[in-house]
Structure 1
Amino acid sequence: MKKAELLRDALIAGNTWCRANPEAITVWVEKVGIETQATGEASFMYSYTIQALATDFPGDVDDLMLPLLGWVWEQQPDLLLNPDSNRKIEFEADIISDDTADFLFRVPVWERVIVTKTGGVVTAEHLSESAMRINSSEWETVFDPASEGNKA
């Protein structure tokens, strides 16, 4: 389940405080399931919820939400673009003091895996998400590095 590690990396890379305090960012997975295809194809899909906890965070929730949404744009774009999915990202805030809070994010994801056998060795290849994009989308303008209007 590679997406959990990628989310942690994105939070740390996307926020100065997180880069200075990576030990305060904890990521784990819950509610893991697998789904196989009836097509006979040697593939399956993990579905799970990533939980990301930032403890004693001194910034605004937006300072974490923006790198999280950038990661969603790359790794799970259906959560932003599909009306049936775009309310599934959740978070909780526990106010610790006037200056800090703990933030817990929950992001439901899926991860496709193709299974192959070469020379008697069975391997699993995790597929990247297809670039399901909408032309002239505001999300693309904000999060796509190739976009001229990139603000992230």
Structure 2
Amino acid sequence: MAHGADLLAVLARHSGQPPQPRAQLATARLLAPTEHLFDAQEDDRLAYALAQILSHPDLREADSVRWLSPVAEAFRTGEPGAVPAWASNTMRTLRMLHVLAHRGLSRRNTDEPPCSLTHREAVLEELARTLAIVAPYTA
């Protein structure tokens, strides 16, 4: 997962490709059933890749938040009890993405200032709404 997230971040920097399929790929990976709890900063690395994707200059506002719909649907199926690994991994990834969206995305190994997500406010709002499903005290 960690190396796949890193690859996704590199691919996201190539603006010649549409960003939507990459965001959908990240979503599919987050929602895949697993017993593995991220333990190699996969959540941070995938959040960074998503931030790269969401910084694509051609991204439309609707597409910048659409990828969160399946996550919200999956969160709504939660039941009391132990949190499944996929859900914990997804929550942690979205929380890190919220930090990156809020503070800006720093470019690794450059002196460039942090850049903002293309539709920062819409992404922040939809992340908060999605996370409120599993953490209602944040709403």
Comparing both structures, which one devotes a greater share of its residues to helix? 2
TM class by smaller structure: 0.3 to 0.5
Instruction: Select the structure of larger CA radius of gyration.
Output: 1
Please, what TM-score do these two structures have when normalized by structure 2?
A: 0.32
